[in-house]
Amino acid sequence: MFIRNCWYVAAWDHEIPADGLFHRTLIGEPLLLYRQADGRIVALEDRCCHRQAPLSAGRREGDCVRCGYHGLLFDGQGRCTEIPGLERVPPHVRVRAYPVVVKNRWVFVWMGDAERADPALLPDNFSNDHPDWINLPGYLHYDTPYLLICDNLLDFSHLSYVHEKTLGGSIKIAQARAQIDKLPQGIRVTRQVPDVPPPAYYRRMREFTTNLDRWFIYDFLLPGTLLMHSGGRPTGSASGTEPALDPTQPSADSVNLHSCQTLTPETEHSTHYFFQQSCRADQGDAAMAQTLFDSLLVAFNEDRDMITAQARNLAAKPGVPMVPLAMDAALIQFRRLVDERIAAERPA
C-alpha cells in the first residue's frame, strides 16, 4: 500500500533522453517517460492496454509512442490514435497518463487522481539547481521497502555508528536530543551537536584546526523527501541566534551544506533513492562537488548495507515486534502520517 495522491520523483531530468523511451517502475506501476518535441516530459503507464506489452519496448513517432507488439499508437495524453487494420479507434482504447512536473532537475509524477495534482505540493528542492549551490546528482537502488530508508533518515543517531568513519565521527550526534516539530506535510527535525571533531568528509573538503559546532536541520516531507541544511562552525564562534539556518550568510570558516534527497517506492520491496548534497558555490568548485559526492556515496552504501541486512531479518520473521525508544520519535510520527494518508485514500 502506498500513498497515491502525491508527487513522487521518477527520475533526474537528465535521465530522460531527448529521443528514446525511458522505463521506471513507481509504487508497483510500470511507467514510460519520454520527451515530446517541445522538451516536455510525458508519463504513461508502460503497459499497452491491448495485450499489456510494455510501450517502452516500442518506438517514438513524433510526440506519440507506438507499441512494438501490434502497433497501437498512443499520444502524450494516453489516447490511442491508430490501430493497424481498424478504421476507427474506440475511445476506451487508451493508457493512463500521469501529470508530470519538472522542478529543479527532479521529474515529479503524480500517481493519484490527476485532477488533484497540485504543483503547490512540490517540495522546495532549490539547491538541486541554484546558482549559489553546486552538487552532483546521485541515485541508488535499494532492495528494501522504502519506509525502512525513511526510518533511517528520520533518526540521525545512526550517524555515530553506521557512519562513524564518514559522516559521523562522534557519539555526541547520537547523544544529542533532536527537536521535532510538525509540518503540514511532514516533520521538521533539528539537531545541534556542539564541540565535536570535524567528520571525515569535512576533512576531505579542507583543513580544520578546531572542534566544530554542528547542526542538522531538515524537513522530512511526504511521501519521502528530505530537505536539509547542515554544517558546522568553529566551536563557540556563533555570534547570533542560529545564523547557520540562513544559508545566505555563511562565514569563511564554516561549512554550509544543503541536501535534497527523496525516496520513491519501486515495489513493496524495493526503492529508488535520488539524492544530492550541495555546497555553496562561493566555498567550492567542481572538484569539491566531486569530493562531496564521493563521500556521500560511500556513506549511503553504509546505510544500504545496514538497511538491507535489517530488511533480511524483518523478512525472515515478519511478526517480531520492535522495541520503540526515544530516538524513534520522528520516524514513529512520520509512519503515522503515512498510515493516515493511506487510510484517507482508501475507498469508504
Q: Is 120 in the site for its own copies (CB under 8 A)?
A: no
Q: Tell me which of 4, 70, 269, 341 binds its own copies, using CB under 8 A.
A: 70
Q: Tell me which of 61, 119, 141, 175 binds its own copies, using CB under 8 A.
A: 175
Site size toward its own copies (CB under 8 A) is 54
Q: How far lies 304's CA from each of 78, 157, 262, 328, 334, in Å?
A: 37, 16, 15, 19, 20
Q: Is 179 in the site for its own copies (CB under 8 A)?
A: no
Task: Measure CA of the first residue to CA of the last residue in the chain; give whole Å.
Answer: 16
Q: Is 69 in the site for its own copies (CB under 8 A)?
A: yes
8 A C-beta contact, residue 80 and residue 73: yes
Listed in sequence order, the residues at least 6 apart from 234 whose beta carbon sits closer than 8 Å to its beta carbon are 210, 211, 212, 213, 253, 254
Helix (H, G, I), strand (E, B) or coil at 315: helix
Q: Tell me which of 286, 323, 343, 348 binds its own copies, using CB under 8 A.
A: 323
What DSSP string describes 263-279?
EEEEETTEEEEEEEEEE
Q: How far is the CB of 171 from its own copies (least distance, A)?
A: 6
Q: Tell me which of 10, 32, 67, 292 binds its own copies, using CB under 8 A.
A: 67
Q: Is 314 in the site for its own copies (CB under 8 A)?
A: yes
Q: Tell me which of 14, 38, 39, 92 binds its own copies, using CB under 8 A.
A: 92
Q: How far is the CB of 252 from its own copies (least distance, A)?
A: 33
Q: How far is the CB of 284 from its own copies (least distance, A)?
A: 31
Query: Which stretch in 236-244, 254-262, 285-293, 324-332 sits in contact with its own copies by CB under 8 A?
Result: 324-332
Site map (CB under 8 A) of its own copies, residues 273-312, x = contact: --------------------------------xx--xx-x
Q: Is 183 in the site for its own copies (CB under 8 A)?
A: no
Helix (H, G, I), strand (E, B) or coil at 176: coil
Q: How far is the CB of 32 from its own copies (least distance, A)?
A: 11
8 A C-beta contact, residue 300 and residue 273: yes
The backbone torsions φ and ψ at residue 135, rounded to the nearest 5 degrees and listed phi first, read -165, 175
Pick between residue 109 and residue 289 the one whose CB is nearest to its own copies. Answer: 109
Edge-first strand listing for the sheet containing 73-74: 59-61, 64-66, 73-74, 80-82
Q: For residues 38 and 340, what is the distance between their CA atoms, to the nearest angstrom?
A: 39
Q: Tell me which of 2, 32, 35, 58 binds its own copies, using CB under 8 A.
A: 58
Q: Is 1 in the site for its own copies (CB under 8 A)?
A: no
Adjacent-strand bridge partners of 193: 214
- CB burial of 111-150 (b: ≥16 within 10 Å; e: otherwise) equals bbeeeebeeebbbebbbbbbeebbbbbbeeebebbbbbbb
Q: How far is the CB of 220 from its own copies (least distance, A)?
A: 17
Q: Is 320 in the site for its own copies (CB under 8 A)?
A: yes
Q: Is 24 in the site for its own copies (CB under 8 A)?
A: no
Q: Is 194 in the site for its own copies (CB under 8 A)?
A: no
Q: Is 342 in the site for its own copies (CB under 8 A)?
A: no
Listed in sequence order, the residues at least 6 apart from 293 whose beta carbon sits closer than 8 Å to its beta carbon are 135, 136, 138, 276, 277
Q: Is 71 in the site for its own copies (CB under 8 A)?
A: yes
What is the amino acid identity at position 147?
Answer: L
Q: Is 66 in the site for its own copies (CB under 8 A)?
A: yes
Q: Which of 135, 132, 134 is nearest to 249 (CA)?
A: 132
Q: For binding to its own copies (CB under 8 A), which residues are involved?
A: 25, 28-30, 46-47, 49-54, 57-58, 66-71, 83-86, 92-93, 151, 155, 157-158, 160-162, 171, 174-177, 305-306, 309-310, 312-314, 316-317, 320, 322-323, 325-328
